[in-house]
Chains A and B, each alone.
Chain A
């Protein structure tokens, strides 16, 4: 069974631009969560989608948004990029929503660098 895939793996953008990251969960998984990982802050929760609905949202500004499609694939968008948005963005999939104590499996991440 294929794991979680994320595209692209690496991305370089400049301040003010926007970016869209993609995540394909494990086949059969319906929940996708997004995290930002930086050396200083560690893993920070962005949001979770289940059945095309956002279930939870972390403490990030409105520039960070996401969506989930009917095939459970998810996209994350960051608008008006700032230098501080440089990070590894991780997607995790699980069978069901987090509240059901479903294990999360991570993708390899997208390394975003903002210049």
Chain B
């Protein structure tokens, strides 16, 4: 199946710092989605991207659909303790979504 390389695997940051994570692939995707998952819960959709080059914000979150259509980036500004969780990217190609392995974010107050 398609491989989505998500990095970093984990991050430990101080409250107030900005965060960046990304997903890359050797394949082209038509849609990129970013999710956040809390322990024991299902992923919650944060941002959806549909066009190459698209930059979309949702509060303190900003995500971009890479120009090559093979990557996407998620930035979180001024992190707060409730940002803790696992962030997943998902790329759509053909008729199927493929998911990254997740970035575990820990915010230290």
Interface residues of A (CB under 8 A from B): 4, 6, 33, 35, 42-43, 45, 48, 55-56, 58-59, 90, 92, 97-99, 101, 103-109, 111
Residue in chain B with minimal CB distance to A47? B96
Given contact pairs A101-B31, A103-B33, A108 touches B41 in the complex (Cβ within 8 A): yes
B42 contact from A58, A90, A98, A101, Cβ within 8 A: A90
Q: Which bracket fits the contact residues of B?
A: 20 to 34
B67 at the interface (CB under 8 A from A): no
The answer on a CB contact under 8 Å between B95 and A42 is no
16 contacts between A and B (CB under 8 A): A43-B43, A45-B1, A45-B97, A56-B96, A58-B1, A98-B92, A99-B94, A101-B30, A103-B33, A103-B45, A104-B45, A105-B45, A106-B35, A108-B41, A109-B41, A111-B40
Chain A residues contacting B42 (CB-CB under 8 Å) are 4, 6, 90, 92, 106-109
Binds A, one of B53-61, B70-78, B98-106: B98-106
- Measured CB to CB, the closest approach of chain B to A40, in angstroms, equals 10
Chain B residues contacting A55 (CB-CB under 8 Å) are 95
Chain B residues contacting A58 (CB-CB under 8 Å) are 1, 96
B48 at the interface (CB under 8 A from A): yes
The answer on a CB contact under 8 Å between A33 and B43 is no
Bound complex: CA A48 to CA B94 (Å): 13
Bound complex: CA A45 to CA B97 (Å): 8
- Measured CB to CB, the closest approach of chain A to B63, in angstroms, equals 13
